[in-house]
Amino acid sequence: MASARLVNVVASKAFKSIQYSRLGFLSISQSNGSLKSFKPHCRRVHTTHLLSERLFTKDHEWISIENGIATFGITDYAQEKLGEVVFCELPEVGVECDKDDVVAVVESVKAASDIFAPVSGEVTSANEILSTSPGIINTSPEDEAWIAKIKMTNDSDKDGLLNESDYKKLIVSLE
């Protein structure tokens, strides 16, 4: 995509470049090794998940609840911040977890990041495809790369979760 680039050099160690795409979207990148900065994007939504309302956590997980079973994964925003995922450590099936327990670990760019249980309950299945193809967390984070399913023990756990509109506001406030 062709773009005009305005380069602002600050000191000799870091620079910001502000890029305006042909479509007028603003994207900002920094080259100082910090977590990747915000790039506006279309959130990938697939029709299979429109059937149940999608909820989100402040830790950037998405949850889809149907018949008391919560399927969850990490959001597109989270996978972009992580970078290329090279390994996903899945929860053990049958294990009981409390809301906010560390239930999975994702490794990317030499960093191991904790993923937290969005609700309390029993892990009924884990997405084994992530064991052999962890990269789908980057390519399809909110569809194919679901991490696990939890049979909820406490229906009120979903009360603290964010709806899509509130989650979008959260992302904007972080940038």
The DSSP symbol for 33 reads S
Only one of the segments 17-25, 48-56, 65-73, 81-89 lies at the binding site for another protein (rule: CB under 8 A); that segment is 81-89
Handedness of CA 25, 144, 59, 134 (dihedral sign): negative
Q: Please state the closest distance from residue 88 (CB atom) to another protein, in A.
A: 9
Q: What is the DSSP string of 111-153?
A: EEEEEE-SS-EEEEEE-THHHH-TTHHHHSTTTTT--EEEEES
Q: Which of 6, 28, 93, 111 binds another protein (CB under 8 A)?
A: 111
Q: What is the DSSP string of 86-119?
A: EEEEPPPTT-EE-TTSEEEEEEETTEEEEEE-SS
The verdict on 86 binding another protein (CB under 8 A) reads yes
The verdict on 173 binding another protein (CB under 8 A) reads no
CB atoms within 10 A of CB 6: 10
Which residue, 173, 174, 171, is CA-closest to 76? 171
The verdict on 142 binding another protein (CB under 8 A) reads no
For 93, the 3-state DSSP assignment is coil
Report yes or no: 75 and 143 within 8 Å, Cβ to Cβ.
Answer: no
Closest CB to another protein among residues 83, 140: 83
Closest CB to another protein among residues 6, 109: 109
Q: Please state the closest distance from residue 76 (CB atom) to another protein, in A.
A: 18
Closest CB to another protein among residues 69, 105: 105
Q: What is the dihedral of CA 159, 115, 38, 134, to 10 degrees?
A: -130
Closest CB to another protein among residues 12, 48: 12
Q: Please state the closest distance from residue 30 (CB atom) to another protein, in A.
A: 10
The verdict on 22 binding another protein (CB under 8 A) reads no
The verdict on 80 binding another protein (CB under 8 A) reads no
Summarize as ranges the residues that interact with another protein (CB under 8 A).
10-13, 32-35, 59, 86-87, 89, 100, 105, 107-114, 116, 131-132, 134
